[in-house]
Structure 1
Amino acid sequence: MSDFLIKPTASAREPLQASFSDASNPIGLDGVEFIEYATGKPQALGQVLEMMGFRPIARHRSREVLLYRQGGLNIVVNAHPDDARAANHGGEAPSISAIALRVRDARAAYDYMLERGAWAVPTHPEVMELNIPAIHGAGGSRIYLVDRYQDFSIYDVDFVPIPTVDQHPQATAGIHFFGIVQYIGPGRSYDWIEFYRELLGAEPIPDEERFGIMPKGKLLRVPALSATRGFLIQLVEPEPNVFDTSERLQRIGLGVPDVLAAVRALRGLGVEFVETPEAHTDPRGAITKTYLGSVVFELVHSEAGGA
C-alpha cells in the first residue's frame, strides 16, 4: 500500500473498539450526504446544476456557499475564495473538492481511519459552525464524516433556508446517487483499492460485472447500513501517452430507473448529451457534455435509490 495514501502505523491492524465489529462495514457507512464543488464562478455552475434538476435551497451562514438539492441528492457549491483557490490549484474550472459520507458515529469513524493511517484535514470552523471531521482524498479533495443526517442535520446549523423555496424538491426522472468516478495515476489501482478497502470496507467488483456506457478501470462497491444507500467508486487509470495524469474526483454517476426517459427529461431542461460511436445514449447509460471545462454527469440504469 502506498504511503502517499495511507501512513503506516504500528497499530494499523489492531481493533479500535467494539462498535466496529462489523467487518463488512467497519465505520457504519450509510451513503453520501453531499458532494461539494469548489468554484470561483458559482452562478455559472449553478446554471448547470439547475439544468440537471437541482434547485438552490439554502445559503451558508458565514461563507460563500450554496446548497442545491433534488430528491435525496445534495450538492454544495463552495465559492469561498480561499477554498476555491486551494481546490482548483489556481485553475478556472470547477472541481469536485469533497464528498461527505454518512456514518453511524463521526468521531469514532474518524478515529478508526486515523488509526489505519488516514491523513487528517485540520478544520477551522467559524463561530456557529459545525466542526465536521475530514481526511484527505484524491487530488487534495476531502472526505467528510457526517452523523447528523436524520431529523436534525448539519444544514440546520450551518445553513439558512432560502425563503419561499421548497426545501425538498422532487428528483427529476427518479435521479439518485450511484457513484463517483476517480481518475488515478498510472499503475495506482492497487494503492487506491487498498485505501478504500482499508478505510471504508469497499470491495472490488469482478471485471465482467459492468455498469453504464463507460466500462473502464476498476469498480469498488462501498457498503451501507441501508441497502439502497450503497454506492460505487470507479477508478480509472490514464490511457497510454496521455499527458494529464493528475489524480482527482472526475465526475458524479447518477442512477435512474429509465435512462431514456431521464435523458428526455433533462434534454427538456437544456442538458446536452454526448452522442458518438464510443459513448452514446442507450438503455444502460448516457453521459452529458462537459460544462465549464470540467463538469460532467453520467447516467446509469439503477432501480435503487434512497434519501
Structure 2
Amino acid sequence: MNTPNQTSTVDRESITPATNPLGLDGIEFIEYSTTRPQALGQVLEMMGFRPIARHRSREVLLYRQGAINVIVNAHLPAAPDAGAAASEGKPVLAAVALRVRDAAAAYRRALDRGAWAVPSRVEVMELNIPAIHGVGTSRIYFVDRHDKFSIYDVDFVPIPGVDPQPPAIAGLHFFGVVQYIGNDRTEDWTEFYRELLGFSELPPEQRFGILPKGRILQSPCPPASRFYIQLIEPEAGVLDVEDDEALQRVGLGTADVLATVAELGKRGVEFVESRSVHTEDRGALTKTWLGGVSFELVHDERG
C-alpha cells in the first residue's frame, strides 16, 4: 500500500488491462471438417451461402454470404486432428479464424500466456496462418490479411462465373459461437479466453437469443465487429461430462429474426419448435443436419 505522499501512477498503469491487446476485429471464417463436403455444401446453400472459390492444392471450398466466410475442409489426411466424428462423415466445427492487427505478434503473445501451438502444414503456394489449440480438437487461427489483400487471394482460386460477394440474406452476419464444455469448467474456459484473447464476461442478466444458458463472453473488438462465445456446461444432475468438449454451433445475427426465418423457410430451412425452444423475435434455432450442423439466429441491430 502506498503512503499518502507516494505516487501510485506506475502501479495504476501496471494493473490497467489492455482493452484489446491483440487488435481483434471480428471473425474472418469458421471451418468445418467433413468427409461429405457435397452434403454439407447443400446445407450451406440452403442457408444462403454460395461456393465462391476452391483451394489451390487441397479439397477445400470457400463459401460466403455477405461478410460471412465458411471453409469446408474435406482434406482430412492433412488434418488428422479433425476427430472421429469427421472421419465418419459428421461435420465438425474445426476452427475459428480471428482477425487481428498483427498475426505473428498475436500468436507469440498467446504462446507466452500458455497457449499450445498448432504445427503448420504449409505446402507450396500456401500462406502460413498461425494457430493455437482451442477446445477439443479445434483450432484458433490469427489472420491479419483481411482488407484489400486477403488470405483467399493466395490460397484459393475463384470459381468462374460466380459472384465473389454474394449478398447476405436479411443482413446475416457473424454473432458468435456456442461452445459445449465439461462439468465445472466455466471458470477455466473464461480464464482461457480472457488471458489469451482479451474477452470479458457479461453479467448474468445480459442474455441474447432464445437459449440463455451458461456464460456469455464478449470479444474486445470494436462494436461493429464484436462477437460472443457462449459457454454451456451439462445440466446439473443430467450428464457428467469431462472430455467431451467442442464448438457446437454458429450464431448468426440479424436485425429482424422473424423476417429472416420466413426467408430461410422459403429455401427449405426448418426451425426447432418445441415447448422449450421456439421461434420468436429474439431468436430461432435451425434443425440439426448431418448429425452436427445447426445455426442459431439472434436479434442484433447491426444487421
TM-score (norm 1): 0.90
Asked if the contact 1:40–1:84 (Cα under 8 Å) also holds between the matched residues in 2, the reply is no
Asked if the contact 1:101–1:143 (Cα under 8 Å) also holds between the matched residues in 2, the reply is yes
Measured after TM superposition, the shift of residue 22 of structure 1 is 7.0
Task: Specify the alignment match of 2:8 in structure 1.
Answer: none
Confirm or deny that 1:37 pairs with 2:32: yes
RMSD between aligned alpha carbons?
A: 1.3
**Which one of 229, 232, 253 corresponds to residue 233 of structure 1?**
229
Confirm or deny that 1:86 pairs with 2:84: no
Instruction: For residues 57-107 of structure 1, give each alpha carbon's deviation from its aligned partner in whole angstroms, at most 9, with x where no partner exists.
Output: 000000000000000000000000325653132443100000000000000
Task: Specify the alignment match of 2:95 in structure 1.
Answer: 98
Confirm or deny that 1:76 pairs with 2:71: yes
Structure 2, unmatched stretches of 5+, are 1-15
Aligned ranges 1:1-307 → 2 under 5 Å: 23-83=18-78, 86-89=81-84, 90-224=87-221, 226-239=222-235, 240-242=237-239, 246-305=244-303
Measured after TM superposition, the shift of residue 241 of structure 1 is 2.8
Structure 1, unmatched stretches of 5+, are 1-20
Q: CA distance change for structure 1 residues 128 and 84 in 2, over 3 Å: closer, same or farther?
A: closer
Counting matched residue pairs gives 284
Measured after TM superposition, the shift of residue 242 of structure 1 is 2.2
CA distance in 2, matches of 1:105, 1:22: 19
The one-letter amino acid of 2:130's match is P
Asked if the contact 2:33–2:76 (Cα under 8 Å) also holds between the matched residues in 1, the reply is no
Asked if the contact 1:39–1:93 (Cα under 8 Å) also holds between the matched residues in 2, the reply is yes
Structure with bigger gyration radius:
2
SS of 2:38's partner is helix
The one-letter amino acid of 2:96's match is I
Measured after TM superposition, the shift of residue 244 of structure 1 is 5.8
Identity %: 64
Measured after TM superposition, the shift of residue 304 of structure 1 is 1.3
CA distance in 1, matches of 2:188, 2:141: 21
CA distance in 2, matches of 1:83, 1:218: 34
CA distance in 1, matches of 2:274, 2:121: 46
Asked if the contact 1:39–1:84 (Cα under 8 Å) also holds between the matched residues in 2, the reply is no
Instruction: For residues 214-245 of structure 1, give each alpha carbon's deviation from its aligned partner in whole angstroms, at most 9, with x where no partner exists.
Output: 00000000011x32101000000012332665
The one-letter amino acid of 1:36's match is E
Instruction: For residues 13-55 of structure 1, give each alpha carbon's deviation from its aligned partner in whole angstroms, at most 9, with x where no partner exists.
Output: xxxxxxxx97011111000000000000000000000010000
Asked if the contact 1:85–1:91 (Cα under 8 Å) also holds between the matched residues in 2, the reply is no
Asked if the contact 2:103–2:143 (Cα under 8 Å) also holds between the matched residues in 1, the reply is yes
Asked if the contact 1:88–1:94 (Cα under 8 Å) also holds between the matched residues in 2, the reply is no
CA distance in 2, matches of 1:264, 1:124: 42
CA distance in 2, matches of 1:189, 1:141: 18
TM-score (norm 2): 0.91
CA distance in 2, matches of 1:129, 1:188: 37
SS of 2:63's partner is strand
Measured after TM superposition, the shift of residue 288 of structure 1 is 0.3
Asked if the contact 2:78–2:121 (Cα under 8 Å) also holds between the matched residues in 1, the reply is no
